[in-house]
Structure 1
Amino acid sequence: MGSMLNSMMRLRTRAFLLVVPYIVAALVKMVQYNLKKITVVPNGKEMIDIVLSRTQRQTPTVVHKGYAISRLRQFYMRKVKYTQQNFHDKLSAIIDEFPRLDGIHPFYGDLLHVLYNKDHYKLALGQVNTARNLISKIAKDYVRLLKYGDSLYRCKCLKVAALGRMCTIIKRISPSLAYLEQVRQHMARLPSIDPNTRTMLICGCPNVGKSSFMNKITRAEVDVQPYAFTTKSLFVGHTDYKYLRYQVIDTPGILDRPFEDRNIIEMCSITALAHLRAAVLFFLDISGACGYTIGQQQRLFNEIKSLFMNKPLIIVCNKTDLQPFDTLPEQDKKLIEEMKADAMKTVLGQGGEATSEEGVLLTMSALTEDGVIAVKNAACERLLDQRVELKMKSKKINDCLNRFHVAMPKPRDQKERPPCIPPGVLEAKAKEAAAQAEKEKRKTERDLEDENGGAGVYSASLKKHYILANDEWKEDIMPEILDGHNVYDFVDPDILHRLEELEREEGLRLADEAEDDFEMDGEELTPEEREALAEIRRTKSLLIQQHRMKKSTAGSRPIVPRKFDKDRQFTTERMGRQLTKLGLDPSAAINRARSKSRGRKRERSPEVMGEGDAMDLDNEQSNKKMRAMSRSRSRSRSKSRPPTEVVPGEGLKDSVQKGKAIKLAKKSAKKRNKNARKGEADRVILNMKPKHLFSGKRGIGKTDRR
């Protein structure tokens, strides 16, 4: 019995040891390439503020002269050690979270080297590491000195010197911290690429249709433009084939030039081709619309074909809608056949069979989507075959095959059991097909747009689904603001009834005018009156034309006061001459203009006058004073309007509504006035010194430090 238990324990231990490496590898794989969770790197000033503020808040702050010297030493040693530990934790987090270029996948190592120059990257991390060691050494030295401090003053000076030297070291590495923060931000924007999963890599010359193909087979929205180098970095999308997830990487275009002359954008593509085990799709633009001939594209293929070794390779002839493959010149066809032969050598070098020649050269059009799915399926199939073949050749397959068992059910009788679909499922499928057909028949806004000239020409009507009594009303123009008033305030539900009444009244008025038969046609006038009428009409037309001319030339200005009328153009004499010229009596108009009040003079009381003045005014007092008093009584002073009185044009219904609006306005401004804001746009923060950085520790029993 004991031997059986021992054997069972050994088996379980062995199973556990077999499983642990896979668990560890999975965990490492999850955290190894997650570049988006690196903590923000503070600059030198921020790090000093954070650490010193934490030291101030988390360590004792009150010390007295009467303390024993051992207590004073312990008090200041604690501050130095706590500050050193905080700096050590911050700097260690920076060093540990940033990936080490020698310890990650070569793809990420080379990509980071291309983007940031690994020498600068390592130098910045090395300076942070050196600063961490120096701060630890400073703390150790000053703690040793503090052990022999002989007074409160000496201990305090040693503490200040220790913290000052630590802050000086942090200030010196401020450029390195700023550089690492920029690198962190850029690394967070890099796509999450898994180097070990099933991957399809799209490469080729610029503007040959790589991004268009990726947008067709994945849900990635890569920018597509009709010019070169629209894609400036690596883009990742995902697609499915045979219930497996595939990673699709769109690379920037590569130019046919020496390796030393390539820029950072091209080196991203070269890095992905060199380090990722993926199915490579080399795109050819056989129409020449990309700006590169087939000969130039073949030279690029020959230059980078060493990067295709031990990888499934497919040559994709794109843009067959512009240039069908059959209509190519013989010389171009010969170049493509040479590229196909080189690709076959790569396939045969992997141990592939000659039957795989069918999937080496494919044609497609990303615009018409002709052959897009065939290219995707061929790439996925060849990549899957290669991965299975490599796993079958590995040594681990024997251990795995021993654990697999495929169960084959035995027939229990000779009865045929064909697949059966329940009637309810068939009915549901038929209804779904009918609904789909009806949906396809109905024209959408996109269909209407295509029929009426496309985007920018056709504008969809937002009113065609309005539910109105008459469909002709849908396109009526309803202004929101008219003459400075809100139209909705004047909408009356009985407007049609009132309009009918107005039209009826207008008809009666026109009928009365027709009965009166009064018309200034000039037949019943004398020759002099006819001439006056013609002159009046001519002058009126001239005034209208003059007004229109002034209005069109920005001459519509307010009337200037008479004291500024230097040319004396607007006087009663001039008006009298013009009216007399027209044959009219100007006396009534002149008297009316002269009698118009120009203001009110202050009357002096008899008490204020002198004796001579009083005697001179005795005779005229009864007349002039009475006239002045009657005039002052007839003309009352202007009164100030109450705030709730409605003024025409405000858009408010009555004084009650205006009072509510005033109350709401005051209530909304109350919070702003409490904060002493000048207005809604006042964003000034006057507290430039946060109290938690410039105040001491809270006392016993006091919980409100504000």
Structure 2
Amino acid sequence: MVQYNFKKITVVPPGKDFIDIILSRTQRQTPTVVHKGYAINRIRQFYMRKVRYTQQNFYEKLSTIIDEFPRLDDIHPFYGDLLHVLYNKDHYKLALGQINTARNIVAKISKDYLRLLKYGDTLYRCKCLKVAALGRMCTVIKRISPSLAYLEQIRQHMARLPSIDPNTRTILICGYPNVGKSSFMNKVTRADVDVQPYAFTTKSLFVGHADYKYLRYQVIDTPGILDRPFEDRNIIEMCSITALAHLRAAVLFFLDISGSCGYTIAQQAALFHSIKSLFMNKPLVIVCNKTDLQPLDGLSEEDMKLVMEMKSEAMKTIPQGGDPSEEGVLLTMSALTDEGVMAVKNAACERLLEQRVEIKMKSKKINDCLNRFHVAMPKPRDNRERPTCIPEAVLEAQAVAAAKEKKKLERDLENENGGAGVYSVSLKKHYILANDEWKEDILPEILDGHNVADFLDPDILERCEELEREEGLRLEEAAAQDAFMIDGHDELTKEQREILGQIRKKKAMLIQEHRMKKRTAESRPIVPRKFDKDRKFTTKRMGRQLSSMGVDPSAAVSRVRSQSRGRKRERSLSRAEGDDMEIDGQHSNKKLRTRSRSKSRPIEEVAPGEGFKDSAQKKKAIKKSRDSVKNRNKEARRGEADRVIPTLKPKHLFSGKRGNGKTSRR
């Protein structure tokens, strides 16, 4: 799976086109008509909207550029060094930094001019401020035009880079120029790399894919490398060095033993020894190419000695614990005659696969897998051969199982019972019930006039009533404590406070008892107080009870009577008496209220059982319900099903001639 796809980076427009895109979008997406007769607030909003919209478009466009270009510190080191080799990361970071600075400057300009537009007093002044704001933003974009052009060139070049996955199975081909690397690449993959009989035909990395043991391998063809110091190597050679340094791959070092590439075996061996530090802990295969021109056995003693030294160095790159055999380290092939090509590919894939398995075995993840499988390796106890033996009973059981009919599917049952439209699949036959005869029973939906779902929890109503009862008791106690206040409460003694607490508790219990009776009464009629034969709630009885507790009942009795007659006294006030009430020489229009009325609950307050999470959600629901009937009410519909189309032009209003002075009635 490729992790980096540079082809998806958005095109970076030039500075002039960038400005034209944003300004034309502002012209098309914002209002264009304003008159000096408008209110000044409307004129300000008109021009503030243009400035704000332009700034937002600049900000989004520049942010897209910054976010889509890769950050060299966050991506894989292979891609980070490759981009540094190709583009110089200092210039790259400087260009992106200028884009980021321009984005911040545009935001600051917009903020400053919006503050000025907020206090613009005329249309002309607001328009001048708008022009100045948009002009300064465009000037900032013009200044970063070179950076935008540079990033566009980088984007085009990055889109042409091959899609290399640094973490997958990889085979890397390297060596001197014109030694047959691209020819081998074309043989083992479907890649079509240009092959020419001169050096540096391949100027960049090319990627192909090959299969081995049902696994996909990534084959990378690198440009040729010359034997010289690192600081003298050009960009083409550094691409190969970067790939060798950062990719965990099997390395194929190609060696032209015929000398037709223009370089001797001694020069190629010197290159091998100069870059052998890049081969450490990587499977290395030395491939002697062009054996059709010069066989390996026909080399001179000096050249053979150099080849053997390279082979010994290749053996040192095998990690500790690996297979120390010499097989697969030095191979011969000919890309012209296809001799040994597949052997080289298979050897590289096999060595890479062994190394990857070995690394996984050394990792901590292997502990999670070891308990899932066990490979038994029996040790022979003598020299006797014991071939595999399958018992006859097992063979007979297999034969019986093969002879049995296969399990009937629903399609087979359908064909046997008349086909589609006649046979319907029973969805109940797989039900898990205590008795199989119950599977086809009809599920009752109503039982004794009630829904079956109501019987899932028979105690739910009692529990709800308990909760409501407890909540009501607490609310009533709190209300009783707030409502029942006596003047001079702070001056009461300890005994009087205890008596007062008993009175309040008694009152709360009476209120709760009354609520309970009222709730459970259902259809019982409410008996007025004058027909209360028990005479439970009278001022005389209250006075007797207070006197028995040692409290003077006169204040409480007078307070109850004043509350019962407070509204009549308020209405009986004459206008003259109301006019005489003055506070500091001013007439008071406040009404006399002897007791507080109960306040209605606000519409947005959530009551228990309504199903809303909070008041904000309820407000939103109320607004949606009102909006849904707005058009219906505007059209004078009786309801949602009203489809009556009234007469749009009543005849009595639009027929006949009008005389002078008759226009006003319309």
How many residues align? The count is 388
Tell whether 2:139 aligns with 1:163: no
Aligned ranges for residues 148-159 of structure 1 at < 5 Å? 148-159=119-130
Letter in 2 for 1:282: F
Q: Deviations over 1:179-237 (max 9, x none)?
A: 11110001111111110000000000011100011111001111111111111110100
Aligned ranges for residues 9-20 of structure 1 at < 5 Å? none
Q: Give the whole-Å Cα distance in 1 for the aligned partners of 2:96 and 2:392.
A: 74
Residue aligning to 2:99: 128
Q: Give the whole-Å Cα distance in 2 for the aligned partners of 1:392 and 1:406.
A: 15
Q: Give the whole-Å Cα distance in 2 for the aligned partners of 1:406 and 1:67.
A: 88
Residue aligning to 2:322: 352
Q: Give the whole-Å Cα distance in 1 for the aligned partners of 2:283 and 2:162.
A: 23
Q: Give the whole-Å Cα distance in 1 for the aligned partners of 2:134 and 2:220.
A: 50
Aligned ranges for residues 34-73 of structure 1 at < 5 Å? 34-73=5-44
Percent identity, aligned pairs only, is 83
Q: Give the whole-Å Cα distance in 2 for the aligned partners of 1:407 and 1:242.
A: 24
The structure 1 residue matched to 2:338, chosen from 357, 361, 369, is 369
Once the two structures are TM-superposed, the CA of residue 68 in structure 1 deviates from its matched residue by 1.3
Letter in 2 for 1:200: I
Residue aligning to 2:357: 388
Tell whether 2:263 aligns with 1:292: yes
Once the two structures are TM-superposed, the CA of residue 389 in structure 1 deviates from its matched residue by 0.5
Once the two structures are TM-superposed, the CA of residue 400 in structure 1 deviates from its matched residue by 3.5
Q: Deviations over 1:445-464 (max 9, x none)?
A: xxxxxxxxxxxxxxxxxxxx
Q: Give the whole-Å Cα distance in 2 for the aligned partners of 1:405 and 1:56.
A: 72
TM-score (norm 1): 0.53
Closer, same or farther: CA 240–147 of 1 in aligned 2, 3 Å: same
Closer, same or farther: CA 105–415 of 1 in aligned 2, 3 Å: same
Once the two structures are TM-superposed, the CA of residue 69 in structure 1 deviates from its matched residue by 1.2
Residue aligning to 1:334: 305
Q: Give the whole-Å Cα distance in 2 for the aligned partners of 1:59 and 1:411.
A: 84
Residue aligning to 2:70: 99
Aligned ranges for residues 585-604 of structure 1 at < 5 Å? none
Residue aligning to 2:113: 142
Report the secondary structure of 1:136's partner residue. helix
Once the two structures are TM-superposed, the CA of residue 411 in structure 1 deviates from its matched residue by 5.7
Residue aligning to 1:643: none
The structure 1 residue matched to 2:206, chosen from 208, 220, 235, is 235
Letter in 2 for 1:352: G
Letter in 1 for 2:361: M
Tell whether 2:311 aligns with 1:343: no
Once the two structures are TM-superposed, the CA of residue 405 in structure 1 deviates from its matched residue by 8.3
Q: Give the whole-Å Cα distance in 1 for the aligned partners of 2:27 and 2:233.
A: 54
Report the secondary structure of 2:174's partner residue. strand
Report the secondary structure of 2:322's partner residue. coil
Once the two structures are TM-superposed, the CA of residue 397 in structure 1 deviates from its matched residue by 1.7
Once the two structures are TM-superposed, the CA of residue 401 in structure 1 deviates from its matched residue by 3.8
Residue aligning to 1:79: 50
Q: Give the whole-Å Cα distance in 2 for the aligned partners of 1:209 and 1:190.
A: 22
Aligned ranges for residues 116-265 of structure 1 at < 5 Å? 116-265=87-236
Q: Give the whole-Å Cα distance in 2 for the aligned partners of 1:299 and 1:60.
A: 73
Q: Deviations over 1:631-672 (max 9, x none)?
A: xxxxxxxxxxxxxxxxxxxxxxxxxxxxxxxxxxxxxxxxxx
Residue aligning to 1:308: 279
The structure 2 residue matched to 1:323, chosen from 288, 294, 304, is 294
Residue aligning to 2:621: none
Q: Deviations over 1:587-637 (max 9, x none)?
A: xxxxxxxxxxxxxxxxxxxxxxxxxxxxxxxxxxxxxxxxxxxxxxxxxxx
Letter in 2 for 1:217: V
Letter in 1 for 2:339: D
Report the secondary structure of 1:297's partner residue. helix
Report the secondary structure of 1:359's partner residue. coil
Residue aligning to 2:640: none
Residue aligning to 1:399: 368
Q: Give the whole-Å Cα distance in 2 for the aligned partners of 1:249 and 1:135.
A: 45
Letter in 2 for 1:38: I
Q: Give the whole-Å Cα distance in 2 for the aligned partners of 1:312 and 1:416.
A: 47
Letter in 1 for 2:205: L
Q: Deviations over 1:377-396 (max 9, x none)?
A: 00000000000100111111
Residue aligning to 1:25: none
Once the two structures are TM-superposed, the CA of residue 352 in structure 1 deviates from its matched residue by 1.4
TM-score (norm 2): 0.57
Report the secondary structure of 1:252's partner residue. coil
Residue aligning to 1:379: 348
Tell whether 2:247 aligns with 1:276: yes
Aligned ranges for residues 458-537 of structure 1 at < 5 Å? none
Once the two structures are TM-superposed, the CA of residue 73 in structure 1 deviates from its matched residue by 1.1
Letter in 2 for 1:386: Q
Report the secondary structure of 2:75's partner residue. coil
Report the secondary structure of 2:255's partner residue. strand
Report the secondary structure of 2:327's partner residue. helix
Closer, same or farther: CA 345–136 of 1 in aligned 2, 3 Å: same
Q: Give the whole-Å Cα distance in 1 for the aligned partners of 2:177 and 2:30.
A: 62
Once the two structures are TM-superposed, the CA of residue 67 in structure 1 deviates from its matched residue by 1.2
Closer, same or farther: CA 285–414 of 1 in aligned 2, 3 Å: farther
Letter in 2 for 1:296: Q
Closer, same or farther: CA 125–404 of 1 in aligned 2, 3 Å: farther
Report the secondary structure of 1:240's partner residue. strand
Q: Deviations over 1:528-556 (max 9, x none)?
A: xxxxxxxxxxxxxxxxxxxxxxxxxxxxx
Q: Give the whole-Å Cα distance in 2 for the aligned partners of 1:351 and 1:70.
A: 81
Once the two structures are TM-superposed, the CA of residue 148 in structure 1 deviates from its matched residue by 1.1
Unaligned stretches of 5+ residues in structure 2: 378-387, 399-666
Closer, same or farther: CA 410–89 of 1 in aligned 2, 3 Å: farther
Report the secondary structure of 2:184's partner residue. helix
Aligned ranges for residues 555-570 of structure 1 at < 5 Å? none
Q: Deviations over 1:508-544 (max 9, x none)?
A: xxxxxxxxxxxxxxxxxxxxxxxxxxxxxxxxxxxxx
Letter in 2 for 1:377: N
Q: Give the whole-Å Cα distance in 2 for the aligned partners of 1:159 and 1:220.
A: 57
Q: Deviations over 1:44-82 (max 9, x none)?
A: 111111111111111111111111111111111111110
Closer, same or farther: CA 97–407 of 1 in aligned 2, 3 Å: farther
Q: Give the whole-Å Cα distance in 2 for the aligned partners of 1:189 and 1:388.
A: 33
Q: Give the whole-Å Cα distance in 1 for the aligned partners of 2:90 and 2:66.
A: 15
Q: Give the whole-Å Cα distance in 2 for the aligned partners of 1:259 and 1:238.
A: 30
Unaligned stretches of 5+ residues in structure 1: 1-28, 420-706
Q: Give the whole-Å Cα distance in 2 for the aligned partners of 1:233 and 1:241.
A: 26
Closer, same or farther: CA 220–175 of 1 in aligned 2, 3 Å: same
Q: Deviations over 1:271-326 (max 9, x none)?
A: 00000000000000001011111110000000000000110000000000000011
Q: Deviations over 1:542-587 (max 9, x none)?
A: xxxxxxxxxxxxxxxxxxxxxxxxxxxxxxxxxxxxxxxxxxxxxx
Q: Give the whole-Å Cα distance in 2 for the aligned partners of 1:302 and 1:416.
A: 62
Once the two structures are TM-superposed, the CA of residue 97 in structure 1 deviates from its matched residue by 0.6
Residue aligning to 1:621: none
Closer, same or farther: CA 415–399 of 1 in aligned 2, 3 Å: closer
Report the secondary structure of 1:331's partner residue. helix
Q: Give the whole-Å Cα distance in 2 for the aligned partners of 1:342 and 1:407.
A: 37
Q: Give the whole-Å Cα distance in 2 for the aligned partners of 1:74 and 1:402.
A: 70
Report the secondary structure of 1:354's partner residue. coil
